[in-house]
């Protein structure tokens, strides 16, 4: 892992729910903070993008009769709520953070300015990117790929509920086989849904590898930092 000086960690909002049906579980929030601290303790520069699916999903807005664009903005605001919660949890562990939003809201978050974000990382602060890309129709995966490209991250660590990429959903198909390594091109050819296509294409074009791993396994982060093969590596 030492070959990556700067990393972007993509976390799902759903994982913050724990066993709850929605919202933020205090134990899961603290668990995230402990895992993130391991990355910082290893001396790496770290940025985070967290989703908002535990609070609101824009794609479900249509079912509620809410306009898609309005729904997407609601989802962006949900990522800010999660970002604030994560920021508080990280600071409780003695970490220095900056919450940055793609949607201007001066009272609670810095506006996104690439050079300022770069400086925060150089000074050892953890950046939490919230508000998605600031535009509707883009997922937080796309936000992660975009920000990783802008800050020249060496890798995207995508924490999920499974231990890598499989030929099909391992939670539904017991015969699914796991890939230890796979190229961007093969993943696209096989129709594997690692990220949405916009995000995935952006990573491929900017040659940013992706490590998909089980964030719920407490040893995963330490093993990745130690340079062990964990999860699935997607690269050129």
Could you read off the pLDDT of 92-151 as tens digits, one per residue?
999 999 999 999 999 999 999 999 999 999 999 999 999 999 999 999 999 999 999 999
pLDDT digits (tens, 9 = 90+) for 9-41: 999 988 888 888 789 999 999 999 999 999 999
Percent of the chain with pLDDT over 90: 73
**Which residue, chain included where needed, has tokens 């696209």?**
188
CATH number belonging to the domain at 6-235, selected among 1.10.1500.10, 3.40.50.720, 3.40.1160.10, 3.60.20.10: 3.40.1160.10
Dist. CA 194–CA 52, nearest whole Å: 18
Cα end-to-end span (Å), the chain: 18
Helix-helix angle 68-92:26-41, to 10 degrees: 70
* Per-residue CA distances from 210 to 42, 71, 140, 155 (Å): 19, 28, 15, 6
**59: pLDDT strictly greater than 80:** no
Domains in the chain: boundaries: 6-235
Q: What is the pLDDT of residue 122?
A: 97
Dist. CA 143–CA 131, nearest whole Å: 9
Q: What is the pLDDT of residue 57?
A: 67
Q: What is the pLDDT of residue 58?
A: 53
Dist. CA 211–CA 178, nearest whole Å: 13
Residues 6+ apart with CB under 8 A from 159: 9, 10, 11, 12, 15, 213, 214, 215, 220
How confident is residue 232, by pLDDT bands cut at 50, 70 and 90?
very high
Calculate mean pLDDT across residues 192-210.
Answer: 92
Cβ neighbourhood burial of 208 (10 Å; 0-12, 13-18, 19+): buried
Q: What is the pLDDT of residue 62?
A: 56
Dist. CA 13–CA 8, nearest whole Å: 16
Dist. CA 50–CA 126, nearest whole Å: 13
């Amino acid at each position: 892992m030492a070959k990556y000086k700067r990393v972007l960690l993509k976390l799902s909002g759903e994982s913050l729910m724990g066993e709850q049906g929605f919202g933020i579980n205090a134990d899961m929030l603290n668990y995230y903070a402990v895992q993130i601290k391991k990355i910082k303790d290893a001396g790496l520069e770290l940025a985070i993008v967290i989703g908002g699916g535990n609070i609101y999903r824009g794609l479900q807005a249509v079912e509620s009769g809410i306009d898609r664009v309005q729904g997407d903005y609601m989802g962006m605001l949900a990522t800010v709520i999660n970002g604030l919660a994560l920021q508080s949890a990280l600071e409780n562990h003695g970490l220095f953070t900056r919450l940055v939003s793609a949607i201007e809201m001066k009272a609670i978050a810095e506006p996104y300015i690439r050079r300022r974000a770069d400086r925060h990382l150089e000074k050892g602060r953890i950046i939490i990117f919230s508000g998605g890309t600031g535009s509707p129709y883009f997922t937080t995966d796309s936000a992660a790929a975009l920000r990783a490209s802008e800050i020249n991250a060496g890798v995207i660590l995508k924490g999920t509920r499974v231990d890598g990429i499989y030929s099909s959903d391992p939670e539904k198909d017991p015969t699914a086989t796991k890939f230890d390594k796979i190229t961007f091109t093969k993943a696209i050819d096989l129709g594997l849904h690692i990220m949405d296509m916009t995000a995935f294409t952006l990573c491929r074009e900017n040659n940013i590898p992706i490590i998909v791993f089980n964030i719920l396994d407490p040893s995963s982060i330490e093993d990745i930092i130690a340079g062990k093969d964990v999860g699935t590596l997607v690269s050129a």
